[in-house]
Structure 1
Amino acid sequence: MAVHRRHMRRRRRQMLDEVKISRRVIRDRLNPLEEYSDDEIFDRYRFRPATIQYILDSIAPSIVHNTAKNCALPPTLQLLTCLRFLATGAYHRLVGDSIGVSETTTGRCCRSVTDSIITNLLKNSITFPTGNCAREIKQQFLAVAGFPNVLGCVDGTFIRIIAPSENEPDYVNRKGFHSLNVQAVCDAKYKITSICAKWPGSVHDSRIWRESALCQQFENGVHSGFLLGDSGYPCKRYLMTPFLNPSTAPQQRFNTSLCKTRVMVEQTFGILKRRFSCLQGVLRTDPNQATKYVIACAILHNIGIDRGDVVDSTQDLDQVQLRGGNGNIIVAGDGVNIRNHIVDTYFT
């Protein structure tokens, strides 16, 4: 009897296994690069096929993972899954449905590809200009608005996130929602040359700048030139800010020129968020992963500009107003004297 029962149990297990195998569904995975036109691919993934292939060649070795499962997701579809998420900010389930993968796989692809983009492309994609590159950027800024010796424009922007489980009040910004406060510097071609995305939304722009590595480089004399910022930043010998109450025509002309030049960083944020809609909505993840998504988007933004795969800026410069700071900033030091010298030399 015992032998018979063991035989029956073994037979039932075999029958269940046969049923599971017969019910297994193998879904066809769509390869968008073969299904859509270049413009359709750009609309869905924010890059054209040539640029997608360039990114894939740069990161593919680091996103291939060993797995014992059959039909592992190839690097191309992993990259497209991540780009689809960054382009739309949709739920992982919806992104996965568009390519034929599960919600869990979509999340894993987004994290893996983002890490690979940062590891392999950050160093060469986001660099502050030096040498001949710095001289070219100064000439470009001078041609745009007549402002001399400018290396870049600096500002911050809020990126919404869900309420984190730790230090939740720190992430509530002055507008009342949870966010990161992302500081970036751009050049005259809307490329991001420096980015700091780790700070909670409640932290003031001036503190983020003061504790950044780029600020220390300017303080130590590594860079020769100016950054342009709004009145939320302190006026320094390397950081020009507008007159809060211009009293003369040259000071007003200085403010107008600074505004027309500094608006490029606001346009850069606009271009970045239009290309990657995940930055316009709410990043439904923890702050550490949200920071990685922001940096990855900045890297991809620069790659798009370098390869001519761009989203045009349509913001009207005449509609941009000078923005005041959101805290008490003491404007002091030799920055004030340098600002007055620029007014007397170039705007009188």
Structure 2
Amino acid sequence: MASVGARLNLYNIIQRRRKTPRPRVFKDRSNPLEELPADEVFRKYRFRPDTILFIVGMFFEDLVHPTLRNSPLPPLLQVLAALRFVATGSFYNLVGESLGVAKSTTGRAARYVCRLLAGKAGNYIKFPRDVSSYKSRFFEIAGFPNVVGCVDGTQIKIKAPNVNEGEYVNRKGFHSLNVQMVCGPDFCITNVVAKWPGSVHDSRIFKESVLCREFENGHIQGMLLGDSGYSLKTYLMTPYLNPTEAHMQRYNTAHCRTRVLIEQTFGILKRRFSYLHSELRLSPQRACVAVVACCVLHNIGINRGDIISNSDDNDLNVAEDVIDGVVDMGGNGKTVRDHIARNYF
């Protein structure tokens, strides 16, 4: 009997020592768009209130999740969580604290909104139907004819992946994605390819892209400007590696002045979304989705006039990254380049 009583006493002691389950607490969720001035909203979320509400309206039905649970996260806070995440590149718990949202909820919201935005790439990242306006606006920059876009790749740093880790180490020695973009004269992104590891060369990305096939088949009338890392084609002009005559040097100068727009586009994109400056703590697949989502947001901002002032942007004048040249792999791109240099410069 004594042993039974001792066991009962021990059981009672253990029961008393057990922690009482912490009650679930529902925090009051504020609306930053109502509490903060427009400039402060722009600083925190990189867009002004009317553009944020426009983005919420784009996905409102997708962001309303039917549930029997209490206090579901409203669509506005889901979008704000995603915007705050890509604007700062901060951890989910810090982003969630600023909105009164749990870390796990913030992560799910940010990933889901990024997927929705990336799904709109076909609507917001594309060449205009009439490229004549692009040609005239590019020509006004430095007199370069028939240009419809500038192409280049940029390295987006990511954490070391678990699979095929070596393929993501670029020539500068860190893990990254090599993302190819094409921009228009207004810094709008007209094409993006975000799926290749950092070790892949720019010329290979372009050669295997849908955009290259469209130019090859004549679906896009005009030419792109690329650096010396690309193959010289009739539709892709690169600079002279060793200009020997004055018109060649003038051609190179005009080429550089025009092509710098893609470098400026990278600067504007990464300044708006600091997330792209730091190491993306995501798998390569999720990182690709997030990059495309940022490009869609970038174009939405330009289309709505919700942009960063160029006078405040320190990243616009980016030095040209000249690498070893690639010889012409076919066509008569050299003939076209010589013709342009002699007749226009």
| Per-residue deviation, 1:68 | 2.8
1:82-102 deviations in Å (ceiling 9; x for gaps): 000000000111101110111
| Per-residue deviation, 1:66 | 2.6
Which of 259, 277, 282 does residue 279 from structure 2 map onto?
282
2:128 corresponding residue in structure 1: 129
Hey, what's the Cα distance between the residues in 1 that align with 2:42 and 2:290?
19
1:148 corresponding residue in structure 2: 145
Which amino acid letter does the alignment assign opposite residue 251 of structure 1?
Answer: M
1:305 corresponding residue in structure 2: 302
1:9 corresponding residue in structure 2: none
Hey, what's the Cα distance between the residues in 2 that align with 1:290 and 1:231?
28
| Per-residue deviation, 1:20 | 4.7
**Counterpart of 2:121 in 1: which secondary structure?**
helix
Q: Give ranges in structure 2 of 5+ residues lacking alignment.
A: 1-14
1:117 corresponding residue in structure 2: 117
Is it true that 1:166 corresponds to 2:163 in the alignment? yes
2:33 corresponding residue in structure 1: 33
Hey, what's the Cα distance between the residues in 1 that align with 2:39 and 2:314?
23
TM-score, L = length of structure 2: 0.91
The answer (yes or no) to whether the contact 2:232–2:326 under 8 Å persists in 1 is no
2:10 corresponding residue in structure 1: none
The answer (yes or no) to whether the contact 2:263–2:320 under 8 Å persists in 1 is no
1:259 corresponding residue in structure 2: 256
| Per-residue deviation, 1:250 | 0.4
Hey, what's the Cα distance between the residues in 1 that align with 2:30 and 2:198?
39
Q: Give ranges in structure 1 of 5+ residues lacking alignment.
A: 1-12
The answer (yes or no) to whether the contact 1:272–1:301 under 8 Å persists in 2 is yes
2:53 corresponding residue in structure 1: 53
**Counterpart of 1:184 in 2: which secondary structure?**
strand
Is it true that 1:338 corresponds to 2:341 in the alignment? no
**Counterpart of 2:150 in 1: which secondary structure?**
strand
The number of residue pairs the alignment matches comes to: 327
The answer (yes or no) to whether the contact 1:32–1:41 under 8 Å persists in 2 is yes
Which amino acid letter does the alignment assign opposite residue 138 of structure 1?
Answer: K
1:180-223 deviations in Å (ceiling 9; x for gaps): 00000000000000000110000000000000000010011111
1:218-243 deviations in Å (ceiling 9; x for gaps): 01111111100000001100000000
Q: How does 1:171-320 map to 2 (within 5 A)?
A: 171-313=168-310, 314=313
| Per-residue deviation, 1:144 | 1.4
Percentage of identical aligned residues: 54
Which amino acid letter does the alignment assign opposite residue 344 of structure 1?
Answer: R
Structure 1 residues 194 and 245: CA distance shift in structure 2, 3 A = same
Which amino acid letter does the alignment assign opposite residue 200 of structure 1?
Answer: P
Hey, what's the Cα distance between the residues in 2 that align with 1:65 and 1:200?
35
The answer (yes or no) to whether the contact 2:268–2:315 under 8 Å persists in 1 is no
Which amino acid letter does the alignment assign opposite residue 341 of structure 2?
Answer: V
| Per-residue deviation, 1:115 | 1.3
Which amino acid letter does the alignment assign opposite residue 139 of structure 1?
Answer: S
The answer (yes or no) to whether the contact 1:267–1:315 under 8 Å persists in 2 is no
Structure 1 residues 260 and 321: CA distance shift in structure 2, 3 A = same
Hey, what's the Cα distance between the residues in 1 that align with 2:284 and 2:320?
30
Runs of 4+ in 1 over 2 A off after TM superposition: 312-317, 319-326
Q: Which moved more, 1:121-130 or 1:98-107?
A: 121-130
